[in-house]
Amino acid sequence: MAVEAEKVKGRSCISVSQQTKDSLDSIKHSGQSYNGVIEELFKFWRDKKGEYWTRRREQRAAESKGRKGKE
């Protein structure tokens, strides 16, 4: 008799390499789910991405002011 995997509503399975799993294991907290560590990584990425674009806009504004001053 074949055992079917139970489908959990709102969940999905993804396949990752052993190296990726090992990397996730090295940064997740004891008892933390993989979903939890992936959510933390996304939050960190969004925060850093936002900081990058804020700095980039500020740099472009400063560059633009510098060019106007030379004209």
What are the residue boundaries of the structural domains of the chain, listed by start? 33-70
Token pair in block for residue 33: 């789910």
Helix (H) or strand (E) holding 22: helix 18-27
The pLDDT value recorded for residue 38 is 95
Contact 36, 28 (CB under 8 A): yes
Q: How far apart are CA 14 and CA 31, in angstroms?
A: 20
Looking at residue 6, what is its pLDDT?
57
In which residue are the tokens 């996304």 written? Answer: 42
Higher pLDDT, 39 or 71: 39
Residues 2-52: tens digit of each pLDDT: 445 556 678 889 999 999 999 999 999 999 999 999 999 999 999 999 999
What does the pLDDT read at residue 69?
62
DSSP string computed for 24-59: HHHHSPTT--HHHHHHHHHHHHHHHHHHHHHHHHHH
